[in-house]
Structure 1
Amino acid sequence: MLDSLFLRLEELYPEMVEIRRELHSEPELSFQEVKTPKFIGDYLERLGIEVKRNVGGRGVIGVIKGAKPGKTVALRADFDALPIEEETGLPFASKHKGIMHACGHDGHTAILLVLAKALAEHRDQLRGTIVLIHQFAEELAPGGAIEMIKDGCLDEVDVVFGTHLWSTMPLGKIGYRNGPIMANADRFDLVIHGRGGHGASPHETVDSIAVASSVVAQLQQIVSRNVNPLKAAVVTVGSFHSGSAFNVIADQAELTGTVRTFDSEVQELIIERIEQVTKGICDSMGATYTLDYKKGYPAVINDEEITNHFVKSVESVDDVSLFEMEPVMGGEDFAYYLQKVPGTFFFTGAGNKEKQIVYPHHHPKFDFDEKAMLYAAKCLAKAAIAYGERMEVNGNREVQSI
């Protein structure tokens, strides 16, 4: 079946490109998706696939039941865009000012839709059930995954696979990893409260900018001086806003930032140290503060057995080369699926220097080599089918299939 399925995917590749480009031109922000889930649901229904809409809010689920008994495998793709003004100059660029598919989710959706079409055409040879999870709002916490899970998208699912097209990885490369592959993605909002006044009379004020600057400098010491150097962590202050006039000492300063970790103990250590550092500096300089720390997506932790299955299954796929990659400090709410069922998340190389496809994710000029969609579809198909055929149901007992 795989030879026939792969051939069909190659035949359908132009349709995959067409879908991607249509979705790219009509991006929708997280929690605001309307046209995209309708497009997905309508497409799947035309294929005769069982469809559930509004899952967890705006998600779409498709279910393909094979003619033979077997496991239930879920495949996930996200479909939201970002609040970025596109600068690619592509003929299919975003039609909506300030909104862009700058992370490849248009490609993820096209991959899963066309793979669904190919799988639906092979129902009579398919063992088990394929659940197609089309997820909304990956880009903005709390994300769509957790609500879709609450609404039953993983009910009766045995294993889950997902991928991310990755523009900074060369086309044809497939990156996998056992254990943590993406980080906890937290956010903090910190407001320093001083006492404003005239710029000519600093002795009568508590300069919030001076206090906040000291806080920023000391926060940079947390990872280098408090975290075990064998464990990865990031503390980044991403914005610093204060003041409105050259001769006024600002009453308050606002800082926002992110913390990235893989280990929950390291995460808690950093939270504690942010609080201690800020309090110590504010106390010593006569200021007060308000800290709002939000834990974001948990770390994406791949199941060892399923990751090994993925590698063994995919290593024979033509035109791709697998390698064990380093963890990525970015966050992903695919983590929630992996907390419920075993699975693995992998990266599909989509960069191409010859075509000048070199910009990173979330960049206004982001793009990816569309051929990567075909490679990703084949890898997902091979892993899913191989897992479905791995076990054969015999009454109430499972026996290894031959």
Structure 2
Amino acid sequence: MDSSTLSTLIQIRRRIHANPEIARQEFGTTELVADTLRGLGLEPRVFPSGTGVFCDIGTGSGPVVALRADIDALPVTDEKSVPYRSTKPGFCHACGHDVHTTIMLGVGMELAPHAEELDGRVRLVFQPAEESVPSGSLDAIDAGVLKDVSAIYTLHCDPAGDVGSVGIRVGPITSSLTTFDVRLTHSDSGRARRADLIAVMSQLIVQMPRALQDALPPGRGMISSVVFSAVNGDLETGDGSALVTARGTIRSLSRDAWAEAPGHFARIADAIAGAYEVTCVTDFTQVAPAVTNDPQAMAVMSQAVTDVLGSGAIYPTPQSLGGEDFAWYLEHVPGGLLRLGVRSRGQISAPDLHSGAFDVDEECIPVGVSVMKATALAALRACVPALETATVAPDVTATVAPPNVLAGA
């Protein structure tokens, strides 16, 4: 990448970072992305919702390979003292989506001049609302971004990896995510009293993590985290009864656990509450299954990384407890997610994702562009779904990253 292109990309990244927009409000970011793509002679299409863009490079009749970036920010205060600090109090790009967007625009800049030489088409997807429920990936799929797509790839910033390195994993690389809402109620005629509802909720909070894990049949995977939050107690409902509510998340390491957890959770909660003659109502939202990297797709991606960075650049990455809505694309087509090292070389540690102090070493931008460009070109040549003889990238043991229930992928 020449210095002029890199300078342009850094300016774009800093502009996005300084002007964060949360889920489904990314109108300025959408306009910036679309204008940049038009400037490359491309024809971007904005999602029907008004936020989010997708765009094809090339006109060939061969396979279509998609590269996805997410564009939304978080309701987190920017704690950094940098020239590109967020100008919107209470909001910032604390998960690296500004970097993801910039990298995919960089791929567009690199490929657009050679569009007629491609063996098919590369589709750039700039997805809104990754941090939202329901997520923007569902909007993107409804908008047709997967039409004719053979494979889809993405990357995610990793503050645990040095710039110039890439984390690769075959199989599940994130956890599945379910949110829940619990309502405990009773009337004055019941044996329980208002204070008892607090005690019952306490029993749910203490007993549920272990009970839910034990409820899963052997071989069904495991629940990695059950976290209760936003507990509100002793609230009057207006009809003489009492109400205590809680919400939280269930994170699991397998699709089976993700599918079965709500039913077991509801049954256990009913049993605990019923012992106190308390009514329990539970509601669930299945936010996303685990991102599960396809072995053949990752063979292509691993080779692309090796070709541009060398084999020493790859580090094994554990399955994280973060959720990532990229998983919904993989319900339809094969693909994969890699972790892009963004920590400055020699730095021992860096602020984690979803922290107001999170930032990246901008040297990661040309690394990400080169890796994603090489992956797209290699996938076009390989036509991933038909690839049956690829060397599968080595897996790593199913270690789990330390819990960070707020973090994304």
TM-score (norm 2): 0.85
Relative to 1, partners in 2 of residues 1:194 and 1:169: Cα closer, same or farther, differing over 3 Å? farther
Larger Cα Rg: Structure 1 or Structure 2? 1
> In structure 2, how many angstroms separate the alpha carbons of the residues matched to 1:301 and 1:326?
12
The answer to whether the 8 A contact 1:192-1:290 is kept is yes
Relative to 1, partners in 2 of residues 1:352 and 1:240: Cα closer, same or farther, differing over 3 Å? farther
1:58 matched to 2:47: no
Identify which of 100, 108, 117 aligns with 2:100: 108
Please state how far the C-alpha of 1:100 moved relative to its aligned partner: 0.9
Structure 2 equivalent of residue 301 of structure 1: 292
Relative to 1, partners in 2 of residues 1:315 and 1:193: Cα closer, same or farther, differing over 3 Å? same
Q: Which moved more, 1:203-212 or 1:27-36?
A: 203-212
The answer to whether the 8 A contact 1:185-1:260 is kept is yes
> In structure 2, how many angstroms separate the alpha carbons of the residues matched to 1:158 and 1:120?
20
1:23 matched to 2:12: no
The answer to whether the 8 A contact 2:291-2:327 is kept is yes
Identify which of 236, 241, 245 aligns with 2:232: 241
Please state how far the C-alpha of 1:356 moved relative to its aligned partner: 7.7
Identify which of 108, 112, 123 aligns with 1:120: 112
Question: Secondary structure of 1:127's partner?
Answer: coil
Where structure 1 has 5 or more consecutive residues not aligned to the other structure, the ranges are: 1-6, 392-397
What letter is aligned with 1:207? D
Question: Secondary structure of 2:80's partner?
Answer: coil
The answer to whether the 8 A contact 2:342-2:364 is kept is yes
Question: Secondary structure of 2:65's partner?
Answer: strand
> In structure 2, how many angstroms separate the alpha carbons of the residues matched to 1:357 and 1:105?
20
How many residues end up aligned between the 2 structures?
378
Structure 1 equivalent of residue 366 of structure 2: 374
Where structure 2 has 5 or more consecutive residues not aligned to the other structure, the ranges are: 390-409
1:40 matched to 2:33: yes
> In structure 2, how many angstroms separate the alpha carbons of the residues matched to 1:37 and 1:95?
18
Map of 1:226-375 to 2, 5 A cutoff?
Answer: 226-227=215-216, 228=218, 231-233=221-223, 234-243=225-234, 251-318=242-309, 321-352=313-344, 354=346, 358-375=350-367
The answer to whether the 8 A contact 1:357-1:367 is kept is no
Please state how far the C-alpha of 1:224 moved relative to its aligned partner: 4.9
Runs ≥4 residues deviating over 6 A: none
Q: Which moved more, 1:92-101 or 1:285-294?
A: 285-294
> In structure 2, how many angstroms separate the alpha carbons of the residues matched to 1:225 and 1:150?
37
What letter is aligned with 2:139? E
Structure 1 equivalent of residue 207 of structure 2: 218
Relative to 1, partners in 2 of residues 1:142 and 1:159: Cα closer, same or farther, differing over 3 Å? same
Identify which of 162, 173, 176 aligns with 1:184: 176
The answer to whether the 8 A contact 2:351-2:359 is kept is yes
> In structure 2, how many angstroms separate the alpha carbons of the residues matched to 1:205 and 1:153?
51
What letter is aligned with 2:24? F
Relative to 1, partners in 2 of residues 1:352 and 1:225: Cα closer, same or farther, differing over 3 Å? farther
Percent identity, aligned pairs only, is 28
The answer to whether the 8 A contact 2:155-2:337 is kept is yes
TM-score (norm 1): 0.86
Relative to 1, partners in 2 of residues 1:55 and 1:35: Cα closer, same or farther, differing over 3 Å? same
> In structure 2, how many angstroms separate the alpha carbons of the residues matched to 1:56 and 1:307?
32
Structure 1 equivalent of residue 404 of structure 2: none
Structure 2 equivalent of residue 4 of structure 1: none
Cα RMSD (Å)? 2.8
Please state how far the C-alpha of 1:386 moved relative to its aligned partner: 1.6
Q: Which moved more, 1:236-245 or 1:76-85?
A: 236-245
The answer to whether the 8 A contact 1:142-1:297 is kept is no
The answer to whether the 8 A contact 2:220-2:254 is kept is no
Q: Deviations over 1:19-55 (max 9, x none)?
A: 1110001011101111110111011101101211235
The answer to whether the 8 A contact 1:56-1:151 is kept is no
